[in-house]
Structure formats: C-alpha cells, structure tokens
A = this chain, B = another copy of it.
C-alpha cells in the first residue's frame, strides 16, 4: 500500500461489542461456516497469487508487466465465474527505475573509484535521474524537516540524508510507518528547498538489513526536482557511522526515467445480487506493484483475496441480495489514478454503493477490520465480525478503509479495510523480499474468508448499511 499519510490506531483497536449476536444475523452462522470450510479446504487464494506473480511479477503502472496483470485479472475474474467482467479505462503515470542506482562513498582524497564503498539504494518513484556522471557532494544527515531547516544555508549544495528510524517499539507497525514516512514522501522537496541537490532516505522498515525499500515521493510546483533514493537500514547505519567520524562525500548515480502517461485499466467483475442488484458492494485490492520483487504481499494478496472472497460465495451457491463487485485497481502505488477514475466514472451510481472494502495490508493472519462507517453502520459491521471471531477477527475499529476506496469514502460510501496482523508487513514492504514465498497459504485464505463472510452478511441482510457522511 501507498500509505504516505499518517496511519495511527492501536493494534487491537476497539474490541467487538460484548458477546451478543443480533438474532437477525444468527442465520448467517451456517453459510459462514461453509465459507470457512470450503476456503481452507481448497486454499485457492494462494493459487491465484502464485499465478499472478508468475504471469506479471513486475507490474508498476504503465509497464508491460502492468498490462500483463490486467489481462491476467480479466481471465481470473472470468475463471472465478463472475459476470460483467470488463476493463474500465484510466490514464496512469509511467516511471521506470532504469538499471543504475549507485551510491559510492568517496575515499579520503574526496574521489570515487572502483574501490569506493557502495551502499545499497533504490530510487524512489518518480525520482528524476542524476546526470550520467552522477552528482558528487558532501552528505549532511538530518532526522526531520525541522532539523534540516535549522541548518539554514549549510545544506546548500549537499546531499541530504534523512535518517529517522521507524519506531520499532510501537506494537502497531503502521503507526510507526506513519510517523516516519514523511521523510520519504517529502524528503526531496525539503532538501531542494534547503538548497540540497539530492535526498537519501532511510528505508521504511524496523528491520536492520541490506535491502532498500522503495516507495512513492512527491515534488512540489516551483521547487526544483532533485533525485531521491531509499537506502537500506544497514546502509543508513553505516553512513551515519562514517559521518560521525568525518565529513563524507558521496556520488549518486540514477538513470530512472519518467515517460508520457499511458492508457491502463481497472479490472471489474460481478456477482449480481439476487434481489437488490442495483445496490453494490465493492471489494478490491490493487493490481500494480513496486518493481523490486513480485508484489505478492503488496498487493497481490489483496487482489487474490478479493477474487477468492466472491468466488467462495458463488461456488457455495450463496446468492446475496445485493451485487458484489470486484474492482482490481490500477496505480495505487504512484498516483491512485485507478481509484479516482472509478469514483469519477461511477459517480452517478455511488448513491447505490452500499460498502467499499479494500485489502491492502498483506496476506497475514486475520485481526479485524477498520471502517469509516457511521456509528449505526459500525454496529452492523461488528455484529457480522462477531461471526468471524472463531478465525481470529477481533475488532472493527473506526478508521480508513484504504487508499483505493478513499475517493468512494469521500463521496459518502462507507468503506472498510481488512486488517491482518501487522508484524511482518514492513519486513517485506516495497523491497526484494516481497515474494510469494513470504505468504502463508492458510493465512492468506483466512483473510479471503474473513472478507467473504463480512461481504456476504452486509450484501444479504434486509437493512442496508447506513451511508457515511460525504466529503470527509
């Protein structure tokens, strides 16, 4: 997930309401038990994920891999037996990493040679490149924007190194991420404002290792665009240790490129409602992924779970009253263009959108849900979640459904995000480790089952989930 904003909530969240099940939901125990058994018996979400990551391992927006992912998604929705399978157009940015990302530390004489120490980095997207010969300058270390501003003119002409760690002592890793990621998103902008010529940002992980974690950053109109890279946490420690001893000159070389926007697509398929087909529940993840690995956790998992959740309901012959619509969004990572295009092109239909669910926090074991529904809406969602407590769903807490359903939420559609356990997420996020090998088939499937259970209840109960307040 993109999650450049602050995400802050306690790990466990508000507990489910004291044990009680409204009598009107007790009829859902049996179908939810069937969803659970069928899901765990077949574990199809993992097959879907393997297939996506084999077919389109690299699928950053605009790339040929992203086009492959769109084709794959259409076929996967058709194979799952969904109807009205279609591509809905959106225009996306197309940034390429290139083949060079080098940070070389100069020796005692200030020059860089073949023997110079190299530290592991990766360009942030959409960083501008350096000149072919690279940028060579002194490195200045800071820990936040305030410290940088306090340097006044002394950052001028330098490479600014943002080295504030994610706070590992927080139990909620997303909270720790939210408190550190401003460096990644805004580091290049702030470096440029201070007269710096490039930004190096400590990777967003609590783990100490050699893998740079990429991610999105932003430029600001009127502020020079300077190159921006992530450095591995070990690399950051190493660079900081060198800086403690003496000034460090470094050469940064990047050959990434920004191309023209490209045509692309959200991929959509439906299980039409049996009685109230015009009322729609959206469920989705994002098809695009950062390009350093397979994007299995971010967000192949959410795509596989969204398809699997609706497939399970259909395969069991369950016929919810309202329509379930899988939307596999394009370009969550660096633009949200798919999410915006969906909300825009369906704007006349949003009054009829009952709920929008997103899975973009990984395929880990279930913990709960997070939702911006009204208090009355939360009550219904919590009653449904109680039915899922045997598989580890423990809360529906107030919060955001996620980035891709955000535009729908702002239009008044209640949104809900699936919240799996968060401990391993930032070990994997946006780095080489994001492969299928990191995903447990059973944990992934239990997520799909949790989503299917919640969707089925909300799509089928007589009372419609209350609308949220628009334009939050």
Interface set of A (CB-CB < 8 Å, partner B): 10-12, 15-16, 18-19, 36-38, 40-41, 43, 168-171, 173, 206-207, 364-365, 367, 389-392, 394, 421, 423-424, 427, 440-443, 446
Contacts and interface: CB of A to CB of B under 8 A. Distances in A.
A421 B441 contact: no
B391 A36 contact: no
A432 to B, nearest CB: 15
B37 A169 contact: yes
B423 A168 contact: no
Total copies of this chain within the assembly: 2
A424 B36 CA distance: 17
Contact of A15 (B19, B206, B446): B19
Contact of A392 (B12, B170, B207, B441): B12
B440 A40 contact: no
A167 to B, nearest CB: 8
Given A36-B171, A43-B168, A365-B421, 16 more contacts: A11-B391, A11-B392, A12-B391, A12-B394, A40-B168, A171-B390, A171-B391, A171-B446, A206-B442, A207-B441, A364-B365, A421-B443, A423-B440, A423-B446, A424-B440, A424-B443
Contacts of A441: 207
A381 to B, nearest CB: 18
Given A421-B421, A423-B442, A443-B424, A40 B365 contact: no
A207 B441 CA distance: 9
Chain A binding surface SS class: loop
Given A169-B36, A171-B36, A12 B389 contact: yes
Nearest to A437: B437
Contacts of A37: 169
A452 to B, nearest CB: 14
Contacts of A365: 364-365, 421, 423
Contacts of A446: 171, 423
Contacts of A394: 12, 392, 394
Contacts of A12: 389-392, 394
Nearest to A41: B169
A171 B35 CA distance: 12
Contacts of A41: 168-169
Most buried by B among A36, A367, A442: A442
A127 B59 CA distance: 51
Nearest to A391: B171
Nearest to A440: B424
20 contacts: A10-B390, A11-B390, A11-B391, A12-B391, A15-B389, A36-B169, A40-B169, A168-B442, A171-B390, A207-B441, A364-B365, A365-B365, A365-B421, A365-B423, A367-B392, A394-B394, A421-B443, A423-B440, A423-B446, A424-B442
A388 B133 CA distance: 55
A390 B38 CA distance: 32
Most buried by B among A15, A37, A389, A423: A423
Most buried by B among A168, A427, A446: A168
A398 B41 CA distance: 28
